[in-house]
Structure 1
């Protein structure tokens, strides 16, 4: 489905429509460029854990940058909560409302959302919204990863507050924020970066309104949202009507030894889809619960991968999609349920469940599940001079095999377009050394098109530190589709200077399983943290993978000779590194 296949029912001419559509997109992209170049904390400047969007005067999403999908739909709920507290007709130029409350449109406490009205000639032209993951906002452990039983343990929870008036910051609110973070040296710079991003969107929309007129801008906004909705509805009509149900699991909530279930049913009827989470587990004791906004965002971006990914991103994407999220469900968390793992753990399992359900409806279009994890770790550090800091990273895994080719290796889960922190940056900022970040053999799910590979990640402490880790896929790997295999399990380990290696999260060599949700795990000087991420699930029967491709994977050390034989049915002579055609024929039947 291409955009030009859907007629634009517009009140303005097609050329002006396209110019303004691109203007709206450019405004968002410029916001993100400014965020990256002016923020102070590495999690924003280097890992790119932020999102930016603009909204129309009715607070409908108009356009968004290609930032973190798990942020983008949830930001709508934050903007709505902000204007419920500060009504639109009371706002003035330079007002900026901040919030991070998980139960008022937020996700986890580290994600702060800033909403600013944009005025032109005395009336509201739209809104700029910027969300960023801040390195630390207090709580019982660095980055809020205490994995306790109450949201208060996760840090400073802000209801909607007017942080800026007339572009000037409220010094009292700033002092409160500065007093509730382990990284005050990042806070002022990151606030200025968010404000700069918001003001850049203001500049672009005001410039467009000056040139084309406010009424033309507003007409283009409405036309664009309607245009996207028509594209999405036509895409849904291509999916056979029916009910499609699937499940996925988080390994634990940190307290229960039992996995936590996501159950989803997709009901496709004509040009609409209902996403029903009835049957999912109840609210958890531990900190993996997902508030409504996060669950909604995960469901919406998961579907858009296969509906109309090339359509302009705006509120029209969501109009044909209805959500059913039961009360007292871990995917509809309310105060005081802890939520620190919601964006990183819960959303990725929602995506996997939805993609498995779609595999029943459109098996020739869907992919195997990704690593389905963010693998977010965050660590405090204390150097020899007593200086403390917090560093964080997101060791990526593989994506699932597709109907056309193998999955991507070591790529951030669909929940975010984030980057791994560059080793040079990490070592410059913090008293650590990156020892390894390399492809992990046999980590991908097997298939006609195998999944992408995960990685082996090691960091050495040159100080004392305490590490928190949010991860899953430690009981079993990500599932494949259409006969594809599961990927390997993930694992966290502690390596001592004498070479001893102890599993601290996941399955040990003797088969014992340890809770992978780490909180305040201590490291001393010269000790290493090792993490083994998983790959993506496979697509199709592994025995249908051409033998020459299996050999290429063995030569590239993506899979072992043993896996080639036992999983793919391809016998490779280890001396000559050639295919034993006779034995391969017997293995493949």
Structure 2
């Protein structure tokens, strides 16, 4: 490199050591954003459940680095950043400004996901942008958390176009007052806003420090080189997939208004080092609130593919350049105003992932897993204390992941759409007037297979002073599909348990075979009543009769599967008294399968 002048290094080359150091700096800066946001936020959905994402973009708004936060946010944030900068106008943005937007039709997902964008300058030169997105507990609407499941976006809360929330470091009090006035949880908002600002400032500090040390030209050159480096890795990985056209379908059980299934269709075309993802043939925009905005759909498609391309590559724009997404106008994966979108992340993106994985299974069955529980199962409730105070409580009772070509699926793990955590019972009970009665593995919930799916869970919450439940879920008609001969998992179900112990199914199939709409909006609970949700496991991988008998017995002893399921799905006969395998009966049963 040449010498340093005025803190800037003039160079046309980048040696490998400096390249690797700056790559690590970019990654560290994003990770530091996540640490600051988690540790300084006020609301449990950010501080404990980690429902947020952070990333840094170069001056051309190309992704430079991102923290390992929510996948469904990360690729979509580029669209929000572009909408914010273009909406305000780059010429109108100065140092110290922070832009905000949550409009689903301007790069957003659902209204609760609010995005903040801060330009990063070095000696008056724009070098990039820090972007932080978080799911805020409540931004108004017709039900707690915006889960009104209505037919118009207005029912889901406050929709912000690109605006300045900070101007030259000073907060916009008028805008902040509007946000506070439109939330059921204003006590969280100022703290969460400051936490996002802290995350943005952390990124700014690290990038400016790198520019001071290595020179702005060297840093900006590294930004472009790292994106090319990742793109080359991804293209090499795509070449390992056989060229061809691979199709699959999945569906949502309902849009909440009609009882008809809502189909999505995907066609993957692999050619040399490129992949085209075509959603032509997908159903039209729905009346109900499961529509997915363009940014959300593209994000889901991109992260679904990256699981099986180069997951360990540096996370930047190079991940996405080899992938083209074709998204027809007027379909439910390309929502337009006023289509409601509240379930787009938690429900719809899961179905996109499942369909893409099923299509990939036809191309690379030796790599692809069975479908996950394929839903975030977003539970949100207004709850009332015994003294009459109200608050909003949320959780994400996870399901299982699909069996893999190498091992069983993970049990009770957040869907691929989010790197989120379940709310700790101790935290929830400290903050809210509720009591956890159960959060345990659900027996027989996984899809059978040579490598079975992971198990789902049984989630029970008692309302101490009453409340109203919103619940977004699917997979209540059919379970999550298996691959390579694996079987699907069981269905999901929501129930209302009265104080006297009587149980009524309020989402999914009841004992009489009657199906109830699983998209719940403000379903009322009295004091001492319990909400129960039974999540599904992942789909199985491979023929269940190829599963080692010893593994089936171990699953029975661990109460992962029942004796009846061992015989029905795996062809393994177990004596109920001794809990030992009847080897002769098992051999005969498997021989006739």
1:105 touches 1:293 (CA, 8 Å); kept in 2? yes
1:412 alignment partner, one of 414, 418, 421: 414
Please tell me whether residue 467 in structure 1 is matched to residue 469 in structure 2.
yes
Alpha-carbon distance between aligned partners in 2 of 1:44 and 1:25, rounded to the nearest angstrom = 21
Counterpart of 1:92 (choices 91, 94, 101) is 94
Kept in 2, the 8 Å contact 1:370–1:535? The answer is yes
Q: Residue 66 of structure 2 contacts residue 315 of structure 2 at CA under 8 Å; is this kept in 1? A: yes
**Distance in 2 between the 1:387 and 1:554 partners?**
46
| 1:209 correspondence with 2:219 | no
Shift of 1:535: 0.3
For residue 584 of structure 1, the aligned residue among 573, 583, 586 is 586
> How far apart are the structure 1 equivalents of 2:332 and 2:149?
15
Counterpart in the other structure of 1:383: 385
CA distance in 2, matches of 1:88, 1:118: 12
Alignment of 1:147-546 (within 5 A): 147-546=149-548
1:376–1:393 contact (8 Å) kept in structure 2: yes
Listed one character per residue, the Cα deviations across residues 425-469 of structure 1 (whole Å, up to 9, x for unaligned) are: 000000000000000000000000000000000000001201100
State the shift of 1:73 in Å.
0.3
Distance 1:407 1:49 in 2: 23
Unmatched tracts of structure 1, length 5 or more:
1-9
1:348 deviates by 0.2
Query: 1:528-584 CA distances to partner (integer Å, 9 max, x unpaired)?
Result: 000000000000000000000000000000000000001000000111111100000
CA separation in 2, counterparts of 1:338 and 1:364?
Answer: 39
Deviation at 1:88, TM superposition (A): 2.3
Find the aligned partners of 2:37 and 2:320 in 1 and give their Cα distance: 26
CA contact (8 A) 1:571 1:583 kept: yes
What's the CA shift string for 1:82-104, capped at 9, x where partnerless?
11112223321111000000000
Match of 2:24 in 1: 22
Q: CA deviation at 1:214?
A: 0.1
| SS of residue in 2 equivalent to 1:520 | strand
Find the partner of 1:122 among 107, 121, 124: 124
Matches of 2:376 and 2:170, distance apart in 1: 36
Give, in angstroms, the shift of residue 26 of structure 1: 0.3
Partner of 2:60: 58
| SS in structure 1 at match of 2:166 | strand
Residues 70, 418 of structure 2: 8 Å contact kept: yes
TM-score, normalization by structure 1:
0.98
1:110 aligns with 2:120: no
- Taking the aligned partners of 2:90 and 2:462, their CA distance within structure 1 comes to 50
Separation in 2 of the partners of 1:89 and 1:585?
75
How big is each residue's C-alpha offset from its partner over 1:372-424, in whole Å with a ceiling of 9 and x where there is no partner? 00000100012232211000000000000000000000000000000000000
Give the distance between the partners of 1:23 and 1:460, measured in 2 at CA.
46
Give the 3-state SS of the residue equivalent to 2:383 in structure 1: strand
- Equivalents in 2 of 1:11, 1:463: separation in Å? 66
Equivalents in 2 of 1:11, 1:263: separation in Å? 46
Question: 3-state SS of the aligned residue for 2:362?
Answer: helix
| Deviation at residue 257 of structure 1 after TM alignment | 1.0
1:38 to 40, 51, 60: 40
Q: Deviations over 1:292-343 (max 9, x none)?
A: 0000000000000001101001000110000111011000000000000000
SS in structure 2 opposite 1:162?
strand
- Whether the 8 Å contact between 1:11 and 1:223 is mirrored in structure 2 is no
C-alpha distance in 1, partners of 2:466/2:92?
Answer: 50
CA contact (8 A) 2:466 2:529 kept: no
Determine if contact 1:407/1:449 at 8 Å carries over to the other structure: yes
Name the counterpart of 1:552: 554
Question: What residue in structure 1 maps to residue 3 of structure 2?
Answer: none
| Distance in 1 between residues matched to 2:515 and 2:338, nearest whole Å | 29
Supply the distance in 2 between the matched residues of 1:89 and 1:228 (Cα, whole angstroms). Answer: 31
Which residue number in structure 2 is paired with residue 7 of structure 1? none
Whole-angstrom distance in 2 between the partners of 1:464 and 1:578: 47
State the superposition RMSD in angstroms: 0.7
CA distance in 2, matches of 1:191, 1:270: 45
Matched with 2:6 is none
Please give the alpha-carbon distance, in whole angstroms, between the structure 1 residues aligned to 2:277 and 2:584: 50
Q: Tell me how far apart the structure 2 counterparts of residues 58 and 290 of structure 1 sit (CA, whole Å).
A: 26
Number of matched residues? 580
TM-score normalised by the chain length of structure 2? 0.97
Q: Cα distance, 1:262 vs. partner? A: 1.0
Tell me what 2:4 maps to: none
What do the CA deviations read for 1:88-140 (whole angstroms, capped 9, x no partner)?
23321111000000000000000000000000011011100000000000000
User: Partner of 1:72: helix, strand, or coil?
Assistant: helix
